[in-house]
Amino acid sequence: MDGITKRANEIPPFIVMDVLERAHELEREGRHIIHLQIGEPDFPTPACICDAACEAIRAGKTHYTHSLGIIELREAISAHYFEKYAVKIDPDRILVTSGTSPALFLIFAALLEGGDEIIMSDPHYPCYPNFAAFLGARPVPIRAEEAEGFQLQPEEIKKKLGPKTRAILINSPSNPTGNLLSAERIKEIAALGLPVISDEIYHGLVYGEQEHSILEFTDNAFVLNGFSKLYAMTGWRLGYLIAPPHAVRPLQKMQQNFYISAGSVSQWAGVAALTKAGADVERMKSIYNERRRYMIQRVRELGFGLAVEPAGAFYLLANARHLAANSYELAFEILEKAGVGVSPGIDFGQNAEGYLRFSYANSIENIREGMDRIEAFLRQR
């Protein structure tokens, strides 16, 4: 009717942005808001990465690059996967993108026709079903239960497999739960024989447990990864995918048409991230871990449910069903009355309704203040 396609009109918004936008309005009115809804590191990008970007600019590395990405970065990614997971990946199977989000879109576009099905856990990162639906495919959610640490159960996946199933999507450590899939489960999922899309963007942000790449278990896999979270590089827009050889050329052709290449300066920054920023990552990780432990303790003391302690990313998904059935209303009530931004569970799927996602990508002082405010709010409620 309005000349805008149905798919563009109907793609759902990122609900957490509603919380953020209201929080900004309140801030403009003079309120002080603690942001625990955020999904990005509060740290600045490490200096060695920024220096490499400045050098690249000065050296005139400011042009389009090879559509797969500069070979130096693809080799560094390949070396990283070998060192960390003992998997050998030809750099020609790697495609560098402007963030993980375009990589996700390219993979979905390569695998899904209209009417196809893609299996994913519920809760999940909000964009997964939205991208699938945008392409005319059907996201098939698998309920992952709090009592089981929101683990995606291979048995449950089997029940949903059908002639139209094209791929299974996993994300460990997970946004929004912060939980990891065990090696056994990943192995069982790989053994189902369908292509597995593994979003490994939170790899490296793991506290005490061990994360596993899908490539340790099968080559019938598409890996998504990026620099936004581990290296505090959200604004640099740098990510990548690793694909089976037969899929590279179609993915590359889409990249050439849609995006040409990822940003050259960001790619040189990415090389420095992988080769020089190890100590910075360790420092940030140990600070996240301290915040994680503190937040888990406070969330439980305040009466929220958290059956399994999250061991990765910088989120925890707390059960707030004793407070309200509608997480959207509860998140806004907490924002308006306590001045704390949290993400409503419903943003992450029907099965996360009644939950709130707390992010510890904020200073320990702010987390303490945020928890104190929620405590006071709950006492008065």
Ligand X SMILES: Cc1ncc(COP(=O)(O)O)c(C=O)c1O
Q: Which residues in this chain contact ligand X in the complex, by CB under 6 A?
A: 39, 99-101, 125, 171, 175, 199, 201, 226, 228, 234, 239
Return the ∠ at Cα 285 (arms to 280 and 287), rounded to 5°.
100
Please, what is the minimum distance in Å from the beta carbon of residue 225 to ligand X? Answer: 8
d(C-alpha 13, C-alpha 337), whole Å: 24
Please, what is the minimum distance in Å from the beta carbon of residue 372 to ligand X? Answer: 27
- Is 224 or 338 the residue whose CB approaches ligand X more closely? 224
- Is 23 or 224 the residue whose CB approaches ligand X more closely? 224
Please, what is the minimum distance in Å from the beta carbon of residue 39 to ligand X? Answer: 4
Letter string b/e over residues 148-187, b meaning 16 or more CB atoms within 10 A of that residue's CB:
ebbbbbbeebeeeeeeebbbbbbbbbbbbbbbbbeeebbb
- From the list 254, 253, 186, the residue with the least C-alpha distance to 221 is 186
Please, what is the minimum distance in Å from the beta carbon of residue 289 to ligand X? Answer: 19
What would the 3-class secondary structure string for 53-68 be? HHHHHHCCCCCCCCCC
- Is 194 or 197 the residue whose CB approaches ligand X more closely? 197
The type of residue at 120 is M
Please, what is the minimum distance in Å from the beta carbon of residue 41 to ligand X? Answer: 11
- Is 38 or 338 the residue whose CB approaches ligand X more closely? 38
- Is 154 or 173 the residue whose CB approaches ligand X more closely? 173
d(C-alpha 204, C-alpha 231), whole Å: 10
**Region label for 347, one of left (φ > 0), alpha (ψ between -120 and 50) or beta (otherwise):** alpha
- Is 33 or 201 the residue whose CB approaches ligand X more closely? 201
Give the C-alpha distances (Å, rounded to integers) separating 341 from 24, 125, 179, 297: 10, 18, 22, 19
Q: In which residue are the tokens 């420095």 written?
A: 272
The type of residue at 144 is A
What Rg do the C-alpha atoms of the chain give, in angstroms? 21
**Region label for 313, one of left (φ > 0), alpha (ψ between -120 and 50) or beta (otherwise):** left
Please, what is the minimum distance in Å from the beta carbon of residue 52 to ligand X? Answer: 19
Please, what is the minimum distance in Å from the beta carbon of residue 6 to ligand X? Answer: 25
- Is 175 or 339 the residue whose CB approaches ligand X more closely? 175
- Is 304 or 314 the residue whose CB approaches ligand X more closely? 314
Please, what is the minimum distance in Å from the beta carbon of residue 248 to ligand X? Answer: 20
Q: How many CA atoms lie within 13 A of 37 on its CB side?
A: 29
